[in-house]
């Protein structure tokens, strides 16, 4: 059981309002991802939930009880740190067992729990090693092992994959998702990488400057972003924002169109443009173009496209995929 509820959670460092007041509901068993640019307060929010920082004001309810003034260990949460924070002088076994030992569990219980965690994470052969003798992925797994033996109400992950190389990151992403399906425990995961957020989350919380910009399922955020910030942050490459004539035609301040929702033609279309750089990836081609009257845009064409620098092309946005924004950057609903 691990339902977490934040009520008007506030954090200030001196005179700096890091988190001006956040309300959030996290249901039991949900995989929630906090995502946002660096310095948006997502790690601080996680540390507030963990109890590693004191809240300035507000309530943190875990299964209905306010834990805002409880010590971290009393909250029944486990955390996986970005740096893994393994204890370097202890073996893998002792690293995983440390929390149980502190809780005063008997030797037999510890042995059993550590062995079962090691089995889930494929660490059985490494239990007698020190962290310094492990690879990045294995260290990551030890950190997760240390978290799961305590059978927490919820797992907290603080950018756990950012120290891994690209291939391993994809692997660990799948492993963590698999672990969530197996354990069905609430997980809160902090990342600045919107790809991780999109692929792993049941629910994404987009943060900017300590404020919650939007909460929703990955596809809801992709299809109907609440404002320009979410629209630009979710999806890769970034959404294109166009003002001018085209925006007037849709009776709004600015329109947004994703690179994958623009048709590319060499003969005719709505917006004439010149190719600056073409990135050929095989399955798809990203064209960085200079659109006449609108400035730089990115568009995606499927498959191999024989286009290069200085080629003239025409772009046509898919009409039902256009997002409209007002002068304050708020979404106006699809036209």
- Other residues' Cβ atoms within 10 Å of the Cβ of residue 174: 12
Q: 81 or 314: whose CB is closer to another protein?
A: 81
| Shortest reach from residue 115's CB to another protein, in Å | 18
| Cβ 22 to another protein shortest distance, Å | 21
Residue 264 Cβ vs another protein, minimum distance, rounded to whole Å: 47
Tell the smallest beta-carbon distance from residue 242 to another protein (Å): 44
- Residue nearer to another protein on the CB measure, 50 or 271: 50
**Closer to another protein by Cβ: residue 77 or 301:** 77
Q: Which is nearer to another protein, 149 or 307 (CB)?
A: 149
Q: Considering the complex, state which of residue 50 and residue 297 has its C-beta at the smaller distance from another protein.
A: 50
Closest CA to 123 of 142, 101, 140: 142
Q: Are 126 and 92 in contact (CB under 8 A)?
A: yes
Q: Alpha-carbon distance 243 to 325, whole Å?
A: 10
8 Å CB contact between 237 and 257:
no
User: Min. distance of Cβ 87 from another protein in angstroms?
Assistant: 6
Residue tagged 């409880």 (tokens): 70
From CA 7, how far away is CA 59, in angstroms rounded?
5
Find, among 256, 199, 261, the residue nearest to 229 by Cα: 256
In the complex, least distance from residue 210 CB atom to another protein, rounded to whole angstroms? 21
CA distance 267 to 293: 19
Under DSSP, is residue 309 helix (H, G, I), strand (E, B) or coil? coil
For residues 164 and 166, give the distance between their C-alpha atoms in angstroms, rounded to a whole number: 7
Nearer to another protein, 149 or 231 (CB): 149
The residue ranges that bind another protein (CB under 8 A) are: 50, 52, 71-73, 77-79, 81-90, 98-99, 102-103, 132, 146, 150
């Amino acid at each position: 059981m691990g339902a977490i509820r934040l009520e008007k959670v506030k954090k200030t460092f001196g005179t700096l309002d890091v988190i001006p007041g956040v309300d959030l509901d996290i249901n039991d068993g949900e995989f929630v991802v906090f995502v946002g640019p660096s310095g948006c307060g997502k790690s601080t929010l996680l540390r507030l939930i963990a109890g590693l920082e004191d809240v300035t004001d507000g309530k943190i309810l875990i299964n209905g009880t306010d834990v805002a003034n409880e010590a971290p260990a009393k909250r029944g949460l486990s955390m996986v740190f970005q740096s893994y924070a393994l204890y370097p002088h202890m073996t893998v076994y002792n690293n995983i067992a440390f929390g149980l030992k502190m809780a005063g569990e008997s030797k037999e219980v510890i042995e059993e729990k550590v062995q079962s965690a090691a089995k889930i994470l494929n660490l059985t052969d490494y239990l007698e090693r020190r962290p310094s003798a492990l690879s990045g992925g294995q260290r990551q797994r030890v950190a997760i092992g240390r978290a799961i033996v305590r059978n927490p109400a919820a797992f907290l992950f603080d950018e756990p994959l950012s120290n891994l190389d690209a291939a391993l990151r994809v692997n660990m992403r799948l492993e963590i998702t698999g672990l969530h399906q197996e354990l069905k425990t609430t997980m809160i995961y902090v990342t600045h990488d919107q790809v991780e957020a999109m692929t792993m989350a049941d629910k994404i919380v987009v943060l900017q400057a300590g404020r919650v910009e939007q909460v929703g399922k990955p596809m809801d955020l992709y299809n109907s972003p609440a404002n320009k910030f979410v629209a630009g942050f979710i999806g890769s490459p970034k959404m294109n924002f166009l003002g001018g004539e085209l925006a007037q035609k849709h009776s709004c301040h600015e329109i947004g169109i994703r690179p994958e929702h623009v048709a590319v033609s060499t003969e005719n279309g709505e917006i004439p443009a010149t190719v600056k750089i073409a990135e050929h990836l095989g399955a798809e081609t990203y064209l960085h173009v200079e659109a006449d009257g609108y400035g730089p845009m990115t568009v995606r064409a499927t498959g191999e496209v024989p286009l290069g620098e200085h080629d003239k092309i025409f772009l046509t946005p898919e009409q039902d995929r256009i997002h409209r924004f007002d002068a304050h950057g708020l979404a106006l609903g699809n036209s």
